[in-house]
Amino acid sequence: MPAPQTHYFEVEMAFGGFGKPYTDVKMPVWAPGSYLVREFAKNVEGFTAQASGQALRTDKVDKNTWRVYHPKAKSFTVRYKVYAFELSVRTSFVDASHGYLNGTSVFMYPAEEKMLPSTLVVQPATGWTQVSTSLKPVAGGAAFTFASTNYDELADSPIEIGTHKVLSFVANGTPHTVAMYGNAVYDEATLLNNMKRVCEEAHKVVGQNPLDRYVFIVHNLERGTGGLEHLYSTTLSVSRNSYSSEAGMKRFLGLVGHEYFHLWNVKRIRPIVLGPFNYDAENYTHMLWLSEGGTSYFGDQIVQRAGFTTPENYLAALSNTITRVENLPGNKLQSAAESSFDAWIKQYRPNENSDNTGVSYYDKGQLIVGQLDLMVLNATKGEKRFDDVMRYLYAEYYQKRKRGFTDEEFQDAVAKVAGQRFDEFFRTRVYGAQTLDYNTVLGYAGLTLNTAQATGVSLGASVAATGVSLSAAGTPSGGRYVVTGVVRDGSAWKGGLSVNDELLTLDGVRITEDVNKLLADRPVGSEIRLLVNREGQPTELRFPLLANPAKRYRIEQAPNPTEAQLNILRKWLKFQQ
């Protein structure tokens, strides 16, 4: 990165012992853990190859493959540049302040020799003194020289380069490094102690430590965007103000718990198609609801088990997730398995109709795994839980068979631990879109799900305000009000209101504030008259207002729980009656 302010990484690849007349060199099209084809080859330029100081012929044979002809040379060198100016946990970035790279968006690999080991030398920009990565340094090698056993390891080991602060702690006998990029105010001892507690609690779920080192790369930015898991590391993108409040710290620790638990769930306990990876195309699975939603479930559980969240607050957060899922029209149409399979075309490409057609495998998966946890607890009278399912999968498939598991093998594992099969649950609630039976399953722990129906009417549309000013009293006024979403079967849906319509007048009066406030006191069934600007043309719509269909869900303790129910509740949440 000789000129980091131009946002380029410069890469040189030296190949040795390649005896065929030509070698195909590939750039991945996606990053494992982020299920979207991102076409990383679009950022490559200046691809050349040389042998013994002489230029070699190269052809680009498809969108992400370069063919290097070397009929008389077994050793040759490839050089290229990568434009890197997208700072996210799944892409690469370099500017005057630091460099960050994910291997799949910077490093190529020989198409037929992906399992070959390699040595990586990082040459930081002038003045940069730190390189943080989970790759192992080469003993006796030059500064910032690392080894990888194969391309999968190289691609799965992000690298932070610059002048960032490096912190450390030990959890379960394993050294953990924390690379902190960006300005943030935090107490080091408190931060590291909190992270250590989360990591040690996460280890208890599976009960086996697959690590000899672990690296957290933390980007402290104006606005955080989440995290991405790797085999021995993770990258976290968080708000630089995360550590200044109790709520912000809990959110940060929740992200730590989620991404850290991925080192078991996904990186080692995984659906069979998620490794070894095909970097050329989508890798389809029906089980992201387990891989991601299940990790969300355990992430929250881990934070609660570590004592950062009370059982009551945990149940309140779980209630919010139920409310979010059950108020989505798409939850009634798309199953968690379908949502997982369609991640490549839907999860990372939402549009204004997404809530009407689908559901997040994160949220729905979290609820499914939570139900399975209680179902296993109930079936075994509190002796086993979903932790034991994860332990079995780790031992049987990661350690013994050294592969992932199929959908059917996962269901068999749950049955083995529970002592009974849940085939109907999987058929209707996981592979089908039937509503989860909350009260039955929560009842195993002496809990019930109370439902509160929203009152009044609903426009059934989301509206964004632009150019709005505040009055002296602090109330918004003026500006433009544009429809950004329409809820299936709601008032606006049936009345013909469309996304991108600009709301002009309501019953002949110009709209200068939130339209939902203007409708708050209208009775159900009353007709409204809207004048909208649609593609530069005034259009009048008349339709009746329907009742607000939204519901609010809250998990509460049922009256007079039995001792068996309380036993399960205590096993589930360490709940004190």
CATH class of 457-547: mainly beta
- pLDDT-derived band at 1 (thresholds 50, 70, 90) equals very high
Answer whether the bond into residue 124 is a cis peptide, omega within 30°.
no
* 154-206 tens-digit pLDDT: 999 999 999 999 999 999 999 999 999 999 999 999 999 999 999 999 999 99
304-338 pLDDT per residue, tens: 999 999 999 999 999 999 999 999 999 999 999 99
- Model confidence at 141, pLDDT cuts 50, 70, 90, reads confident
Cβ atoms within 10 Å of 327's Cβ, excluding its own: 16
Helices (H), 51-125: none
- Average pLDDT, rounded, for the chain: 96
Alpha carbons 317 and 328: distance in angstroms, whole number: 17
Q: How far apart are CA 365 and CA 430, in angstroms?
A: 9
Q: Indicate if 288-445 has the same CATH topology as 165-261.
A: yes
DSSP class of residue 376?
A: H
- Summarize the confidence of residues 7-11 as an average pLDDT: 98
Query: Quick check: 60 pLDDT over 70?
Result: yes
Give the span between the Cα atoms of 235 and 231, in whole angstroms. 11
Say which residue, 58 or 140, is predicted with more confidence: 58
Q: Structural domain boundaries of the chain?
A: 4-162, 165-261, 288-445, 457-547
- The pLDDT of residue 470 is above 90: no
Are 397 and 405 contacting, i.e. CB atoms less than 8 angstroms apart? yes
Q: How confident is the model at residue 142 (pLDDT cuts 50, 70, 90)?
A: confident
| Element spanning 357, H or E | helix 354-357
Give 4-162's CATH code, choosing from 2.60.40.3650, 3.40.50.300, 3.20.20.80, 3.40.50.720. Answer: 2.60.40.3650
What CATH class has 165-261? mainly alpha
pLDDT tens, 88-129?
999 999 999 999 999 999 999 999 999 999 999 999 999 999
What does the pLDDT average to over 232-255?
A: 96
Using the predicted structure, report yes or no on whether residue 478 has a pLDDT greater than 70.
no
Amino acid 72: pLDDT:
93
- Closest residue by Cα to residue 154 from 112, 188, 116, 99: 116
Residue 468 scores a pLDDT above 80? no
Instruction: Report the distance separating Cα 448 and Cα 234, nearest Å.
Output: 37
pTM score of the predicted model: 0.95
Fold classification of 288-445 is: Neutral Protease; domain 2 (1.10.390)
Distance CA 7, CA 146 (A): 23
Q: For 348-371, what is the mean pLDDT?
A: 97
What CA dihedral angle connects 96, 101, 106 and 109, to 10 degrees?
150
Residues 285-312, mean pLDDT to the nearest whole number: 97
Looking at residue 407, what is its pLDDT? 98
Tell me how far apart the alpha carbons of residues 374 and 376 are, in angstroms, rounded to a whole number: 5
Condensed to tens digits (0 to 9), the pLDDT of residues 502-542 reads 999 999 999 999 998 999 999 999 999 999 999 999 999 99
